Amino acid sequence: MNKTDNNSISLLHAMYNEILSLKAGQEKAKLEMKAQIEELKLEMKTSIEDLNLEITALQSQLENRNISNQHTSPSVSAISSANTIRKPVSIFREITLKHIFKMISEDLGIEVTSNEKATLNMCTKLICDDMAAHPSVIALGPNPSWGSIPVALKKEMCARHANIMKDSGIDFTRCLRNWALTARVAHLWRDRHKRLQSYFFML
């Protein structure tokens, strides 16, 4: 066996060892990714359970106040135009929490504290969960977008949101066409849609 053969064998051994190393690295990466996915699933399950507990607590609180979800929000015509709170921007997608908090503070005269923020967030989550359980939304599939939901249902849910918020001490009924409620429910639903899309993509 000459020197060239020895060099070739050494090179083949080196290549073989490198392949084994790469394969081991791939297996390790697969195991780590699988562990991360399982951890994410567990975190999501825990978050959902915590959210369900919070929703149950809020529902109990609302029931204790004898709140009826069958009420409807006052029509725009019934609200004095002088007191109407108009949208801060023309496009709903551009309405942010800052706009809503500013309206609560300046137009409603309510100090925006952690309690008000928690109330707004929890009431919105409750409405989104109710909407997700609606037959017409379930019929759209496991991950419907905001735009695919029937307009009548969105209006109904936003009206219910207005009543829940009003009974919780924050009266949004002066908002022209429920802009604050529609924007908040739409934003939260889109966030839910994005999270579900990311989750299904990882699976």
Q: Which pLDDT belongs to residue 36?
A: 74
Q: How far apart are the first and last CA of the chain?
A: 53
The residue with greater pLDDT, 135 or 80, is 135
Number of Cβ within 10 Å of residue 124's Cβ equals 20
Q: In the structure, how many helices (H) and strands (E) does the chain have?
A: 6, 0
Assigned token pair, 6: 């020895």
- Model-level pTM greater than 0.85? no
Q: Which pLDDT belongs to residue 70?
A: 45
* Mean pLDDT confidence for 112-122: 92
Q: Is the pLDDT of residue 83 over 70?
A: yes
For residue 191, name the pLDDT band (cuts at 50, 70, 90): confident
Instruction: Give the mean pLDDT of the chain.
Output: 78
Query: pLDDT tens digits, residue range 32-47?
Result: 777 777 776 666 666 6
Q: Which pLDDT belongs to residue 102?
A: 92
For residues 137 and 131, the answer to whether their CB atoms sit within 8 Å is yes
